[in-house]
A and B are shown apart, each in its own frame.
Chain A
Amino acid sequence: MSSMISSPHQHDSNSVQSIMATVLLALLPGIAALVWLLGNGVLINLGIAIVSALLSEWVFLRFRGRNPVTAVTDLSAVLTAVLLALALPPLMPAWQVALGTIFAIVVGKQLFGGIGNNPFNPAMLGYALLLISFPASMSQWIQPQSAASNLDFSQAWQLAVDGVLPAAMAWDSMTGATPLSEVREGLLQHSMLSELHPDGSWSNLTSSGWAWVSLAYLAGGAFLILKGIMSWRIPLSLLASVTIVSGLLWLIDSNQFASPLFHLFSGAVMLGAFFIATDPVSASTTPKGQLIFGALIGFFIVIIRTWGGYPDAVAFSVLLLNMAAPTIDYYTQPRVFGGER
């Protein structure tokens, strides 16, 4: 359409690529914390996901008869791969990581027309597929700072790719539940929080190391907001909603319901609030709509975590609200300049 040069004749120097690169940069603290906590398996997941994302995007764009160079170099596929990989348990079978990523890119993104056209967050579609298809691998999180997290790179690679365990190590002794699923299991069996270990307390979270990962994501997210790369609306409304909903339940019965602090700093809430729910393509785009979008995701996270069938709920909550985003946008158009107040 633009054979004629249209005004304006000057532009900012930003680009899709620079935005994606900044977001990836903001993920580095989180990645570092996760590697510190869970070891080389995290890096293997990241590597496999990034390679399969780029390859599948390249191949699919060739099939569509498009030039794959701009699309592959815009780093959006890399970001999808990184977000998915960070949500997966380290040392899970490599082919499953690859399958989830390819599904995210091909079905979640390219089948809808590529970047900008996907109604769902591709990484979360990939995550949902893996969670439903391979519940066993998806729930086996290796224990922080254990023998499993201390595997060297080649051992970890062998385990992830070939399924070969290092000598004198048993899979069961290396893996276990995350604090999030342990607390949930305990509560579902009508135990009192105080009887549980972990009991969902702050000291519990920090000593297990999980809280530091969340804090690292929080730092990266804050950086993005300060840089003006993303708006504060979705993350803040999401976190506020998680706090309020879980806080109300906690106030009703602090022995039956985990504290807001536990909800905020366990599992994928921080990653979800700053890096997943904020995917602009699939999120709500009006200022008011973003507040509603974030708040509802937060609401569903607590509800599904508390009463649903899965320990964490970021993926399903985000996908649910992705479906609602166009409707939310329609009803939350901002007042136009000179329009009725």
Chain B
Amino acid sequence: MANVSIHDFHGGLILDDHKALSTQHPIAPVYLPKTLVVPLQQHIGQIADPCVKVGDHVLKGQLIAKASEYVSANIHAPSSGTITAIDEQPIAHPSGLNALCISITCDGNDKWTNLPDSILDWESTEPQLIRDRLRQSGIVGLGGAVFPTAVKTNTQNKPVNTLILNASECEPYITCDDMLMRTDPEKIVTGAKILQHIVGAKKILIGIEENKPQAIEALNHAINNTDIEIIVVPNKYPSGGEKQLIHLLTGIEVPSQGLPLDVGILCQNVGTCVAVAEAVLEGKPFIDRIVTLTGDALAKPQNVRALIGTSIHELIEHHSGFAKACQRTLMGGPMMGFSLPDIDRPIAKGSNCVLSLHEVEPTQEPQPCIRCGECVKVCPALLLPQQLYWYAKSHNFDQAQDHHLFDCIECGCCAHVCPSKIPLVQYYRFAKTEIWASEREKQQSDLARRRHEFRDARLARLEAERKARLRKKKEVLENKPKAKGDDPKKAAIEAAMKRVAAKKAAQAAEEKSS
């Protein structure tokens, strides 16, 4: 462990972590449900295209939906069985809306398809080929954004100095990364080495919060004889925010609205590293993940390995059961997670934690903002949340953008400390959505305007051409001397009459001959 200085970031909160609740048991093995409902959009980017049809039998690990565009991700059958439906189902999404899913009735054999070959010599393999493998295997970032890893690691020749492994896991309650690090530190290190090879990073730093001593020890063992450095950071939410962690570890500020790549840094979650290692070394596609089942409503909070598409309800019933009535279920942690209207929804690639709460805060009616400035003190992005709130509320989106609305990472610190209990983050999301919508509208209206202008121009051109043709014709006619018998109409009539006469003569001749 290196003795390096930590570059603290502004604001943040020291929260009760509630992590011990779910670290009392080892990670439970996979539970195979009767049916799996696999959403086609589990990642950032375009929805995947189904490449199976209802009635097909699929094997475990078989591709069932293809990445439709560059920023998209493949989806594989988490177990063997029969496709029973491809339709809209309730999923775990903040919008609460239904989305396209492939339903599989499992045959219980859990029979694997033929997996692609292991790339054991990855160190001497072209990075492009390894990225292709990640793309093929449907690997996405497991830190929260679920961004396709093959896209994120395509640095387009931008130099990467440092690869940072995000092991901070700063949200209360969530321990899936913690347990993974205790259980599988070698795979994390291997995955990190593979990622380092892909992006050509000079060094690897692991940033981890100090509340995970066992994970730190396990990693320390695993990094023996490597040049990977573990940097322990104090417990402060949101230390696991990408830009915050980069600052903690390096003192570098990622430019406002920029990417870590702009300063030669790439961040990856430790869970993603394991998925990368399994895809490269075993050819295993992304079909399961570790999920923290926790909260005071559960009888046996713990981490479990869960197949993508497993119903949350079944997962809880199988592994834990309820000890108390569940008042609220959150997907994710209490700071950034979203509440689920019900739990008959499937686990997806990004589902890190199911938080089942018996005791919830009473919902309080928001009171007016008194601009006390508590939010300014805790904002890690150095924003003025009270001003942003004011502008979002009054639909003054230009001012909101002037006040750096899009630098808000929605960590929720401001709303956490707000004495007036204003759902601030919700206002910021609303403002962002409105701005995106109006930009889309503007693009569409620009397009419509261009189309209209083009049509007008085309009509004008056609009209001009027609007029020009007419004028030309007229000129031709006017310039021709009007000679007698030259009248075309007369000539046509004469010709027609001649033809009629000839026909009549022919008919007469025929009648005679018969």
| Residues on A facing B (Cβ under 8 Å) | 1-2, 4-12, 14-16, 18-19, 70, 74, 76, 114-117, 231, 280-281, 283, 285-287, 329, 333-339
Q: Which residues of B contact A231 (CB under 8 A)?
A: 373
Binds A, one of B26-34, B62-70, B422-430: B422-430
Which 4 residue pairs are nearest across A and B when measured between Cβ atoms? A116-B368, A8-B412, A6-B426, A338-B256
Determine the residue in chain B with the shortest Cβ distance to A12.
Answer: B417
Find residues 405-428 in chain B having any chain A CB closer than 8 Å to their own CB.
407, 410, 412-413, 415-421, 423, 425-427
For B371, the chain A residues whose CB sits under 8 A away are: 116, 280-281, 283, 285
Contact with A along B233-259 (1 / 0, CB 8 A): 000000000010001000001111110
- Whether A337 touches B335, Cβ cut-off 8 Å, given contacts A2-B426, A6-B425, A231-B373, is no
A14 to chain B, nearest CB (A): 5
CB-defined contacts of B366 to chain A, threshold 8 Å: 2
From A10, A14, A336, give the contact of B334 (CB < 8 A): A10
From A7, A76, A335, contact of B336 by CB (8 A): A7
Q: Identify 26 residue pairs between A and B in the complex whose beta-carbon atoms are under 8 Å apart, listed by A's number.
A: A1-B423, A1-B426, A2-B366, A7-B332, A7-B334, A7-B336, A7-B337, A8-B412, A9-B360, A11-B361, A11-B417, A12-B418, A15-B421, A16-B367, A115-B368, A116-B369, A117-B368, A280-B371, A280-B373, A285-B373, A286-B376, A286-B384, A333-B384, A336-B256, A337-B10, A339-B256
**A64–B203 alpha-carbon span in the complex (Å):** 64
Contact check, A337 vs B370: say whether CB atoms are below 8 A apart.
no
CB neighbours (8 Å) of A116 from chain B are 367-371, 420
Contacts of B255 in A (CB 8 A): 338-339
B510 interface contact, C-beta 8 A: no
Is B152 an interface residue when CB atoms closer than 8 A count as contact? no
Interface of chain B residues 455 through 471 with chain A (CB within 8 A): none
B161 to chain A, nearest CB (A): 17
B419 x A8 contact (CB < 8 A) = no
Q: Is the CB of A10 within 8 A of B384?
A: no
* Residue B339 CB within 8 A of the other chain: yes
Whole-angstrom CA separation of A114 from B366 in the bound complex: 14
Nearest CB of A to B171, in Å: 10
Bound-complex Cα distance A76 to B371 (A): 13
Beta-carbon contact of B381 and A15 below 8 Å = no
- In Å, the complex CA distance between A11 and B96 comes to 23
Interface of B is mostly: loop
Q: Which residue of B lies closest to A20 (CB)?
A: B370
Contact A18 B426 (CB under 8 A): no
Q: Give the residues in chain B near A9, CB-CB below 8 Å.
A: 328, 330, 334-335, 337, 339, 357, 360-361
* Cβ B382 vs Cβ A8 within 8 A: no
Contacts of B322 in A (CB 8 A): none
- Is the pair B256, A337 in contact by a Cβ cutoff of 8 Å? yes
User: Quick check: A6 and B372 within 8 Å, CB to CB?
Assistant: no
Give min CB distance, A339 to chain B, whole Å.
5
Nearest CB to that of A17 among chain B residues?
B419
B365 is an interface residue with CB less than 8 A from chain A: yes
With A16-B420, A281-B370 already in contact, 16 other A-B pairs whose C-beta atoms are closer than 8 Å: A4-B96, A4-B426, A7-B336, A7-B415, A8-B415, A9-B360, A11-B361, A12-B416, A12-B418, A15-B367, A116-B420, A336-B381, A337-B10, A337-B382, A338-B255, A339-B382
Q: Is the beta-carbon distance between A338 and B417 smaller than 8 angstroms? A: no
Q: With both chains docked as a complex, state the minimum distance between the C-beta of A71 and any C-beta of chain B, in angstroms.
A: 8
A2 to chain B: closest CB distance in Å?
Answer: 5
CB closest chain-A residue, reference B414: A8
Contact B376 A287 (CB under 8 A): yes
Residue from A11, A14, A286, A333 within 8 A of B415 (CB atoms):
A11
A55 vs chain B, min Cβ distance (A): 21
A68 CB → nearest B CB, Å: 13
Instruction: Evaluate contact between A336 and B407: CB separation under 8 angstroms.
Output: yes
Q: Which of A2, A7, A115, A334 has the most CB of B within 10 A?
A: A7
CB distance from A25 to the nearest CB of B (A): 16
CB contact between B243 and one of A76, A281, A329, A337 (< 8 Å): that residue: A337
Q: A9-B361, A336-B404, A339-B256 are in contact. Are A19 and B381 (CB under 8 A)?
A: no
Residues of B within 8 A of A1 (CB): 423, 426-427, 430
Q: How far is the CA of A335 from the CA of B384 in the complex (A)?
A: 10
Q: Which of B368, B412, B415, B416 has the most C-beta atoms of chain A within 10 angstroms of its own C-beta?
A: B368
A8 lies within 8 A of B367 (CB): no
What are the residues of chain A within 8 A of B419 when measuring CB–CB? Answer: 12, 14-16, 18-19
A334 to B383, CA, bound (A): 7
Smallest CB-CB separation from B378: which chain A residue? A12
The smallest C-beta distance from A270 to any residue of chain B, in angstroms, reads 21
**Assembly CA distance A231 to B373 (angstroms):** 9
Contact B335 A10 (CB under 8 A): yes
CB of B403 closer than 8 Å to a CB of A: yes
Asked if A16 and B370 sit within 8 Å, CB to CB, the answer is yes
| B338 within 8 A of partner (CB) | yes
Candidates B247, B421, B426; contact of A11 at CB < 8 Å: B421
Q: Is B386 an interface residue (CB 8 A)?
A: yes
Cα A2 to Cα B426 in complex, Å, equals 8
Q: In the assembled complex, how far is the CB of residue A279 from the closest CB belonging to chain B, in whole angstroms?
A: 9
Write the nearest CB–CB distance from A208 to chain B, whole angstroms. Answer: 36
Chain A residue numbers with a CB within 8 Å of B365 are 70
Contacting pair A334 B335 (CB below 8 A): no
In Å, the complex CA distance between A10 and B17 comes to 12
By a CB distance below 8 angstroms, the chain A residues around B426 are 1-2, 4, 6
B363 touches A (CB below 8 Å) = yes
Q: Determine the residue in chain A with the shortest Cβ distance to B336.
A: A7
Q: Smallest CB–CB gap between A170 and chain B, Å?
A: 46
Closest to A1 in B: B426
Q: Is B380 an interface residue (CB 8 A)?
A: yes
For B372, B374, B410, B427, which residue has the most chain A Cβ atoms within 10 angstroms? Answer: B372
The answer to whether A339 and B412 touch across the interface, beta carbons within 8 angstroms, is: no
Question: How far is A18 from B427 in the complex, measured between Cα atoms in Å?
Answer: 24
The closest CB in chain B to the CB of A9 belongs to B334
- List A contacts of B415 (CB < 8 A): 6-8, 11
